[in-house]
Each structure stands twice: as structure tokens, then as C-alpha cells.
Amino acid sequence: MRLLDLLLPPRCGGCRRTGAWLCDTCRARIRRLQEPLCRRCGVEVESGRRECGCRSRMPSLARLRSAVAYEGPAEAAIHRFKYEGWRRLARPLAQLLAERLVVEGMAARWVVAVPLHRDRLRRRGFNQSDLLAGELRELLGLGAPPGELVRTRSTPPQVGNDRRTRFENVRNAFAWHGPPLRGEAILLVDDVATTGATLDACAAALRAAESGPVTGVSVARVNV
Ligand SMILES: [Zn+2]
Ligand SMILES: [Zn+2]
């Protein structure tokens, strides 16, 4: 934690009021995803449906789970966290995710973050998913893996792309640098998930390194 961050009074990432990094009002207004969820990719589905048709396009992830809808105070907070450098929001955002994962009863050995390419990391100064992964490890009592997932090539931003382009964009863009993962179950963390394309491409790299099942988790979900 940088000294400057510690000196700043907490200010809500949702509404900018001072007092807490995510105030009670915003916390209450954030819309949690409601059951029934696709049991595979975690989007809200109509009652009576168990899956949404995602099986063929997400071959490497075992499951994907997101905590809240990407709208309202959650969207504002994630935007400030990611693009305006409000790093202290990592904790309350990770808490939203942890609450969801406790409901799901998810077991894993390691928590891994979706990596940024080194050029983007240099520009932004931090990887938001890395900060979330660190908080999640603390909240859930899980460890960091013995190695590093890396983005081997720079990929254009996914915003505005259709589903097929999103998957093509990130195919083979990730690699595991480290020892084999010995069949261990992994939680793979990102801030926002849309189609699951990036998470699935990361999961492919982890599976290639002999991991066990990889569950993608994101704080927020864009429903497409
Ligand atoms: Zn607020
Ligand atoms: Zn689905």
C-alpha cells in the first residue's frame, strides 16, 4: 500500500461520499445476481432452465461465477478502481465476490489473477485483478500458486466486440510460467466478466499446465 493511499480519507467508490470505500447505501443498492443462474457460466436464466447454452463456447472453464450486475454503484466503483486508481476499493469489491463464493461453497487450492500485458501494466501501474486476487486470498484463506500466469501478447480491448471476436481476440494469449499445477483446483479472478472469453483463454493455459478444474470468478457481470 502506498503512503498516499493511507493518508486519503475513505471516499465511496459508488457515490463519492466520504466515510467508507463503499458506503452502506451503495452496498444496499448494488444488485446481486439472483437465482436461478446458469449452473455453468453463472448468468441469470429464466426459471426452469439449468444452463444457458454456454457449454460449447467455454471449453476450458469448469464454471464461472459473478457476484453482482455491472450497473449502478458497482459499475461506478469498478470504474474508479480500475481507471482512476482507487486501489483501496479492492477490499470491498473482493468482499462482494467472497460473499457470493461462500454461498456457492467453492473449494480451491489457489487463487490466480487474470494478467495484464506488461505494456498495459506499465501504463496503469497496477493490475486490478491482482489486487482482487490478493484480497480474496486473505478473505478465503487460500494461497498463491507457485508460478505466474502471463499474457504473452497484447490484445485489443474487448469492449464493443461481438462474442466471436472476443474469443478470437484472446485465443492463445496466455501462458503459465512455473511448475506443473498437479491437478489442483483454481479460482481465476477478474473484475468484470462478459462472455467469459478472457477467463476461458486463461483457463486453457492453466489446464495445459496440468491444473485441476478452473472456476472463473468476477466481481461483476455484464449480461450479453
Ligand atoms: Zn456510496
Ligand atoms: Zn451459461
Q: How is 112-144 classified by DSSP, letter by letter?
A: EEPPPPHHHHHHHSS-HHHHHHHHHHHHHT-B-
Query: Model-level pTM?
Result: 0.93
What residues flank ion ligand 1 with Cβ within 5 A? 12, 14-15, 23, 26
* Centre of ligand 1 from the C-alpha of residue 137, in Å: 25
pLDDT of residue 2: 60
Q: If residue 63 lies in a helix (H) or strand (E), which one and from where to where?
A: strand 63-69
* Centre of ligand 1 from the C-alpha of residue 66, in Å: 21
* Centre of ligand 1 from the C-alpha of residue 82, in Å: 17
* Centre of ligand 1 from the C-alpha of residue 71, in Å: 14
Average pLDDT of the chain is 93
The ligand minimizing its distance to the Cα of 27 is 1
What are 132's three cell numbers? 482482487
The ligand minimizing its distance to the Cα of 77 is 1
pLDDT tens per residue across span 45-90 = 998 888 888 888 889 999 999 999 999 999 999 999 999 999 999 9
Region of residue 16 (left: phi > 0; alpha: psi -120 to 50; beta: else): left
* Centre of ligand 2 from the C-alpha of residue 196, in Å: 10
* Centre of ligand 1 from the C-alpha of residue 10, in Å: 11
In whole angstroms, give the CA distance from residue 217 to residue 224: 17
Name the residue ranges covered by the structural domains of the chain: 3-221
* Centre of ligand 1 from the C-alpha of residue 25, in Å: 6
The ligand minimizing its distance to the Cα of 17 is 1
The ligand minimizing its distance to the Cα of 41 is 2
| Domain range 3-221, its CATH number among 2.60.120, 2.60.40, 3.30.70, 3.40.50 | 3.40.50
pLDDT tens per residue across span 148-191 = 999 998 887 777 788 888 888 888 899 999 999 999 999 999 99
